[in-house]
Amino acid sequence: MSDKKNLDSAQEASGESNRMWGGRFAAAPDALMERINASIGFDKALYAQDIAGSVAHARMLGDAGILSDADVTAICDGLDTVKAEIEGGNFDFRADLEDIHMNVEGRLTDMIGDAAGRLHTARSRNDQVATDFRLWVRDAIDAADDALKSLQSALIDQAEAHADWVMPGFTHLQAAQPVTVGHHLLAYVEMFGRDRGRFSDARARLNESPLGAGALAGTSFPIDREATAKTLGFDRPTANSLDSVSDRDFVLEYLSAAAICAGHLSRLGEELVIWSSAQFRFVRLSDSFSTGSSMMPQKRNPDAAELIRGKTGRILGAFTALATVMKGLPLAYSKDMQEDKEPVFDAAETLMVCLAAAAGMTADMAFDRDRLAAAAGEGFTMATDLADWLVREAGVPFREAHRITGRVVALAEEKGCGLEDLPIADLQAIDARIDDSVFGVLGVDNSVRSRTSYGGTAPDNVRAQVASSRDRFLS
């Protein structure tokens, strides 16, 4: 066979799979190359953002006189039809067309012919995907913020209901000082509030439009990037075309915020696992968020809390994966950056499931007041109250008061009783400055009521912080 016939056969074999690449390549891609190159299996998730960007781009081209009104109408109507087909489950996603951009354009070409080919004027897949992905991450941030707000609402409701329920506060997982359940839960409200702040900061920085940056150098067409940015809800167009197509900071920032948030969720999950155990019995999770054992009929497992704790690794892994991809890339776009989407899509879905599960568990969980109160007094948790009393009422320097209290704790431990159960004579034998009024600070309820400093655990403080949290986070 002649070289001419070989070339003709290769071109015939390439068929539809090659039409988007133009005339540069004669042969169809090898099956393995097609498999490693195609991203449609996951980037079809960007269909709505891709179509929105294309509609904005087409209308801008029309307004700039680059496309005719007839072409703009045909393109926009066609894109609406493509979106309806995808959402109706009637769209044939083709791996040979590589990605969501070519799949949409390919279907548009089938529908409206040559006009579809004019849509790609003054843009590249590089700025197209950067725009689509910013829109998608922006939507993911908004969804995370809504879910975090719902979780905060559940925590605040529980904090209000348990503002004066005493429980042990821990350091090193050792009983430290009595706190209230409401105070403990409000700590997570603050954590998740910071998470919302990080997502908000990331959203503000990403909200610039790369559309119109082209492959890397901009375009010679008289486009209006301000117009497309405004149409798509961006604050402004990106300022540098090279940076526009090569930047994935916005994804890393989202993943960083998601990873920190997942860490907070994991801490909450860990505490619920501990608190719901037979050894603690602080809380009971509802049947909706618990499972049984296939072998042990008595078991009641906090699987939802454990899974929240476990799934944190997937989100942390997504950040690590993308940071590793990006660390050595020269400007501008490299195909490595196709690896930016799968971990992000998985992380976003995982985060949303965990946030929903955490909100559900929090709203349904029931505390055991008697068990919490009993545990609040275990481990000599009023020791600091005794030391503070010595400073406040007897004028003892704190370091000396600390030593005196340590001797009192040792005596109580020897006698197998709580500090409040020691006779006054035993206390005075250690230090004669102690009098009967000390018993006014040694009960757990007295202890928490005394912690009135701003941010402290006193029930009145908790109720004030509940009101403040509703105003700060839920209004």
Catalytic residue numbers? 172, 293
Task: Report the candidate in 43, 55, 47, 28 with the shortest Cα–Cα distance to residue 123.
Answer: 55
What span, in angstroms and rounded, lies between the C-alpha atoms of 262 and 380?
A: 34
> Which residues, in sequence order, are CB contacts of 238 under 8 Å at separation 6+?
208, 209, 210, 213, 244, 247
Residues 6+ away with beta carbon under 8 Å from 179? 166, 167, 168, 169, 448, 451, 457
Q: Which amino acid is it at 392?
A: R
Q: Report how far apart the first and last C-alpha atoms of the chain are (Å, whole number).
A: 76
H or E stretch at 169: strand 166-171
CB contact at 8 A, 385 and 446? yes
Hey, what are 241's tokens?
């075309």
Pairing of strands 283-284, 236-237: unpaired
CA geometry: angle at 293 spanning 367 and 302, to 5°? 30
Pairing label, strands 208-209, 174-180: unpaired
Q: Are strands 236-237 and 208-209 parallel, antiparallel or unpaired?
A: parallel
Which CA distances in Å does 414 have to 174, 375, 395, 406, 407?
A: 19, 19, 28, 12, 11
225/27 Cα distance (integer angstroms): 37
Phi and psi at 171, nearest 5°, equal -130, 140
Helix, strand or coil, per DSSP, at residue 123: coil
Query: How far is 122 from 240, CA to CA, in rounded Å?
Result: 16
CA torsion, ordered 309, 315, 321, 322, to nearest 10 deg: -160
**Contact between residue 317 and residue 256 where contact means Cβ atoms under 8 Å apart:** no
Burial of 343 (0-12, 13-18, 19+ CB in 10 A): buried
- The SS3 call for residue 263 is helix
